[in-house]
A and B are shown apart, each in its own frame.
Chain A
């Protein structure tokens, strides 16, 4: 057996983060410098928080999506769960006359239930996640129209405090929620036994099974978590515009997937960290914000976004290919 050198790399978590995400961090800084040279308003603290608020939903969905992708799955139902829970929240407040707290709890429970529904099919039967969650996506979107009867449901303006308010008059509340959920998701994935089991299943399902890991339970929790994240986003969306709209959250799961891939979550599963997903979401947010400030039309923004995702994944795959050889 070869004598191999013990590598002495820094164990400081910040250094590890920078090392793991170096490419994306350099890219982010380069984009920021470029945009601020062209548009000085970009650099203001207010704009930074605007960006953070704009990505809060993508980011939160991304946390759920990251776990799904790591276990070699995907949750395409997220966007429609956002819509469904936001409509349900609005309906509970306006039509059922429930207090805000109760409406929020009902919405969270509904999102969790959809996740449990997905998890049931994916953990108890060998069904492909793509198809199951696509079906749930359609069901969820249909339910949006059932609840709202195709119209918008207006909510009392005071409910808007959640989505539009500020903490200490500077930090938008959705950003606080984003950061809290980031912390929880990160600890869950990187520190807990559950998190290790997630990586083990994504890396080698057989090995996980042989090691006595309860694959069914872990899969179930992962999809339930994703549903819960989507419900939180639904409530924020509802509060932000103080209406429940059946189109809310349309195709949002793809932004979450984009954030994951951009951050470097392996599309083959088994690899990736919450910090990378958050970074991916931030890059997407900065791009959207910067391009809007530079008055670049939205369709060009889409083209740019698409190309950037393609390039990022291309380099990620090439790098892994090299490591393999």
Chain B
């Protein structure tokens, strides 16, 4: 008998159009903390969902204690002693802390009634383990902060006899002190023989706690190495891996004067952010998911309540209280979630592109068809949207083409500043390349582009200047000639130059 509690062998999973996992291996020993890393979209979460019984793999085998198992559903995964903390909070906020800890498997009296007293007592024990003893277990989860909710989630995984614990980015919204406590809990569990899979973007945490590291990239297995034999540089190059130069076409930059300035923006999740933008510049905002990149833009455009200092465009102070004001000034945002916020999927290409400029096209009840067709032709052609007709529904286009429709829609408004929030998320490499080319073309027309991304190779190769965002603040600024992966990593995992 080998000493592996879990062996996942040759796991593959395909979604329509995407090979999410391709022949992945993961071996886990008793009492081991195993870090699983990779860029966004590398397949970490998919692999974990396979283990959780949420997805069924197309091929591959899973062994628990050398016994071959089939994980059909969540219940069978739980029965095998696998406990998972998912990336998105999965709490029922309408219920109490104790109910959430025992969700679906509450202690019962006489097999029928939920034993609230015992449940609360047990929950209090677990809460004490993670330093939340001053929280009454019958308190509603909705009244807790996000970090506290995350701790409740961790608490949930302590309940029950679990052999394997999976933490999918548990530290994203925790403060340093809480992360430290979590590390302590992980060490305690490890000493009790629990095997832990730890997914994190924060390399310092991985080096601090893990025994082994498995790297995934684009759904492929890269390698498994001992943490002690790893270096940050080696790890990052394994994560990024691909020949990135090929994807990014060469381009000429024509950066002119600074024409936009935003000073002292603050909101709930943004803390005193100031930045400026030059004509013809691609300005990157890099940070991990949830770092507050989108929130800065939402605050700037008046979508979220915010306090702002002077906002200056072309030497003139402007007032932006809503996205509509921003549009009038020529500042437009293509939001991150293009399927919900950027497009109306059930409507046609025509409908979507002309939506922001209907005011110009319709006079009274008459639609200026000639002008409309002109605009459609210009932008659909310029952005190389592949569709047999403008009457096709946007929902039927590929992800890359959908993103082009979003770009066309905003370019048709003749913007001065185009803000792109994760424009290449969820589209394939070929389509990404197209989008990059279009971004170059757009800046060459003298537009300033703000490019928000959490993909490092993208910002490194595309942007002329990068702001690093961390916990709602700008943590550093790097210009073209200083851009490197290590420089960026250093800023985005919380460090700064003074350290």
Is A1 in contact with chain B by the CB < 8 A criterion? yes
Interface pair B135/A207, CB less than 8 Å apart: no
Residues of chain B in range 35-85 having any CB-CB distance to chain A below 8 Å: 52, 54, 73-75, 77-78, 84
Contact A203 B54, CB 8 Å, known A4-B134, A212-B73: no
Contact A203 B106, CB 8 Å, known A4-B135, A212-B73: no
Contact with B along A263-274 (1 / 0, CB 8 A): 000100011000
A7 to B108 alpha-carbon distance, docked (Å)? 26
Query: Lowest 7 A-B CB distances belong to which pairs?
Result: A203-B92, A211-B104, A203-B94, A270-B94, A207-B90, A212-B75, A211-B103
Interface set of B (CB-CB < 8 Å, partner A): 52, 54, 73-75, 77-78, 84, 86, 88, 90-95, 99-100, 103-106, 108, 112-114, 131-132, 134-136, 142-143, 145, 147-148, 151, 177-178
Interface pair A210/B52, CB less than 8 Å apart: yes
The residue that B92 contacts in the complex, of A1, A192, A212, A270, with Cβ under 8 A, is A270
Interface pair A213/B90, CB less than 8 Å apart: no
Interface pair A6/B103, CB less than 8 Å apart: no
The residue that B112 contacts in the complex, of A2, A192, A199, A208, with Cβ under 8 A, is A192
Is A193 in contact with chain B by the CB < 8 A criterion? yes
Contacts of B90 in A (CB 8 A): 204, 206-207, 210-211
Interface pair A202/B94, CB less than 8 Å apart: yes
Residues of chain A in range 176-203 having any CB-CB distance to chain B below 8 Å: 187, 191-193, 195-197, 199-200, 202-203
Number of interface residues of A (CB under 8 A): 31
Interface pair B74/A7, CB less than 8 Å apart: no
Name which residue of chain A comes closest to B147, CB basis: A1
List, sorted by A's number, 20 A–B pairs whose CB atoms are closer than 8 Å. A1-B132, A1-B178, A3-B134, A4-B135, A6-B134, A193-B106, A195-B114, A196-B95, A197-B104, A199-B92, A203-B93, A204-B90, A204-B91, A204-B92, A209-B54, A211-B90, A211-B103, A212-B74, A212-B104, A323-B142
Interface pair B99/A196, CB less than 8 Å apart: yes
A207 to B86 alpha-carbon distance, docked (Å)? 10
Contacts of B143 in A (CB 8 A): 323
Name which residue of chain A comes closest to B88, CB basis: A206
Contacts of B88 in A (CB 8 A): 206
Contact with B along A1-39 (1 / 0, CB 8 A): 111101100000000000000000000000000000000
Least distance between A318 CB and chain B CB atoms (Å) = 17
Interface pair A7/B136, CB less than 8 Å apart: yes
- The residue among B74, B99, B105, B148 with the most chain A CB atoms within 10 A of its own CB is B74
A199 to B136 alpha-carbon distance, docked (Å)? 20
Contacts of A197 in B (CB 8 A): 104
A270 to B54 alpha-carbon distance, docked (Å)? 23
Interface pair B103/A208, CB less than 8 Å apart: yes
The residue that A207 contacts in the complex, of B73, B91, B145, B148, with Cβ under 8 A, is B91
Interface pair A191/B94, CB less than 8 Å apart: no
Interface pair A207/B103, CB less than 8 Å apart: yes
Interface pair B95/A1, CB less than 8 Å apart: no
Name which residue of chain B comes closest to A213, CB basis: B104
Least distance between A157 CB and chain B CB atoms (Å) = 41
Contacts of A191 in B (CB 8 A): 112-114
Name which residue of chain B comes closest to A266, CB basis: B94
Interface pair B86/A210, CB less than 8 Å apart: yes
Interface pair B92/A210, CB less than 8 Å apart: no
Least distance between A162 CB and chain B CB atoms (Å) = 29
User: Known contacts A1-B151, A212-B104; can you find 13 more A-B pairs with CB under 8 A?
Assistant: A1-B148, A4-B134, A193-B114, A203-B94, A204-B92, A206-B90, A207-B91, A210-B74, A211-B74, A211-B103, A211-B104, A211-B105, A212-B77
A6 to B136 alpha-carbon distance, docked (Å)? 6
Interface pair A200/B136, CB less than 8 Å apart: no
Contacts of A323 in B (CB 8 A): 142-143
A6 to B95 alpha-carbon distance, docked (Å)? 18
A323 to B94 alpha-carbon distance, docked (Å)? 12
Name which residue of chain A comes closest to B84, CB basis: A210
Interface pair A193/B112, CB less than 8 Å apart: yes
Name which residue of chain A comes closest to B91, CB basis: A207
A191 to B99 alpha-carbon distance, docked (Å)? 12
A2 to B148 alpha-carbon distance, docked (Å)? 9
The residue that B54 contacts in the complex, of A6, A187, A200, A210, with Cβ under 8 A, is A210
Contacts of A3 in B (CB 8 A): 134
- The residue among A4, A7, A211 with the most chain B CB atoms within 10 A of its own CB is A211
Name which residue of chain A comes closest to B138, CB basis: A11
Residues of chain A in range 200-236 having any CB-CB distance to chain B below 8 Å: 200, 202-204, 206-214
Name which residue of chain A comes closest to B99, CB basis: A196
Least distance between A242 CB and chain B CB atoms (Å) = 38
Contacts of A208 in B (CB 8 A): 92, 103-104
Interface pair B78/A212, CB less than 8 Å apart: yes
Least distance between B54 CB and chain A CB atoms (Å) = 7
A323 to B105 alpha-carbon distance, docked (Å)? 29
Interface pair A200/B131, CB less than 8 Å apart: no
A52 to B44 alpha-carbon distance, docked (Å)? 59
A213 to B104 alpha-carbon distance, docked (Å)? 5
Name which residue of chain B comes closest to A207, CB basis: B90
A208 to B419 alpha-carbon distance, docked (Å)? 37
Residues of chain A in range 46-70 having any CB-CB distance to chain B below 8 Å: none
A271 to B52 alpha-carbon distance, docked (Å)? 28
The residue that A200 contacts in the complex, of B74, B95, B132, B145, with Cβ under 8 A, is B95
